[in-house]
Amino acid sequence: MSNVITSTIQYYLTNFWCCLTHSFRPKAPTKPDYSDIYTSPKYQVKKAGECNQGSYIETYVPETPFLGENGQPKAVIYLHGFDLGASEIYGSHLEHLVKQGYYVFYPNFQTGFCSFPNSAWKTVLELADEVVGDGLIDSQEKWLKNALKSVSSAYQAANLANVPVDTYLFGHSLGGLFALSWAYYIEQENLPENLLPQQVLVADPLPNTNVANIPGPLGDLIKKITDDVDVKVTGAALTMPVAILHGNDDWIVPKDEWKQPFTYIKTEQKKMFLSFTDNRGCPGMYANHEQATVNTSFFDTFLALTVLDGVGVENDLNWRYIWYGLDRVIRYGERADLLNFDMGNWSNGQPVHGIEVFLDSSNP
């Protein structure tokens, strides 16, 4: 609880100080110009499945698919965090990917909350429905299998099931755990090899829900969920390159909770990176559990800080860390564990706090 209080107070004090001194403080790096890689500015979003059954999925279909040097289409399976099923939460990142010509598959593997409701009361109901929509607290494994089933069907609908395709996995928080477990369940369920990822990148993932440090009723609810997906088991199927993009100030999944689970990831081509909060200018950047999200406006700021560990906003931690890592792997074929990051400079020329390596195959 002390981490919650400390980080919340720090956020409000920092923002208050920024409001008073904004005109005198360095400004954050601006958004990169992506026009050269947005080779498919037009795209469609196709929806399938039922929101209240855990089968809902959005497929982002580029008008001009990017084929790359090997002539094969690229697909990204994008797995959301716990109770964060509405695609608006990650909206600009999903758009960033499809505009590059990639097929993007975004399943809501829980029930309910498939889009932002138009009132606070409906939002509360939708958030509750996402976890206990069928009257029972689901298991992680059921949610993961929901995602596997809806993505497999969406591949068929997009005509990618029986042609060569390069698939990549990205997941945030609980979705990060599922992305790290995807290959294991593909084998267990005997699903098509097209669903196997070339590489896996995850942001602030859980190794299992036992480590989730969430206070209050939501934390109590998570503890009741059957903890049946665990990197200790599923990591054995991770033979492809893996990158964990974590935040140093994530108190929901503190970085040290990954020291032992990291050893369960089979591949030697693995690395865990850390971003760092930087408030030397305005607005500041927060390396917390929500650094991968771009919109958490379904909650007010106080609730986002105290329940989600952060306010979703699109900034340098997205563009030059989360988004950049996935871009380099897909478009340029770089290995996930060999990524290098340049976070840019504040307007006064001072570098933004850089990305550091926390764990790798030689130093777990």
pLDDT, tens digit, for every residue of 180-221? 999 999 999 989 889 999 999 999 999 987 766 665 555 566
Average pLDDT over residues 315-328: 98
Q: Pinpoint the alpha helices (H) of the chain.
A: 2-21, 91-98, 120-132, 140-157, 174-188, 216-224, 231-234, 301-303, 316-317, 323-332
User: What are the extents of the domains in the chain?
Assistant: 2-360
pLDDT band at 227 (very low <50, low <70, confident <90, very high): low
Give residue 172's pLDDT.
Answer: 98
Cα(32)–Cα(129) distance, integer angstroms: 38
CATH class of 2-360: alpha beta
The predicted-structure confidence for 240-283, as pLDDT tens digits, reads as follows: 999 999 999 999 999 999 999 999 999 999 999 999 999 999 99
Listed residue (311, 130, 304, 290) closest to 225, CA to CA: 130
Q: What is the rounded average pLDDT for all residues in the chain?
A: 90
Q: Which amino acid, one-letter code, is at 231?
A: V
46 sits in which H/E element: strand 43-48
pLDDT band at 10 (very low <50, low <70, confident <90, very high): confident
Give residue 271's pLDDT.
Answer: 98
Give residue 308's pLDDT.
Answer: 86
Give residue 52's pLDDT.
Answer: 87
Give residue 137's pLDDT.
Answer: 59
User: Could you tell me which residue, 288 or 217, shows the higher pLDDT?
Assistant: 288
pLDDT at residue 238 tops 70: yes
- Least confident range from 97-101, 115-119, 294-298: namely 115-119
Give residue 2's pLDDT.
Answer: 61
pLDDT at residue 1 tops 70: no
Model pTM? 0.93
Q: 77 and 170 in contact (C-beta within 8 Å)?
A: yes
pLDDT > 70: percent of the chain: 91
Kindly tell me the sign of the dihedral angle through the C-alpha atoms of 134, 140, 142, 143: positive
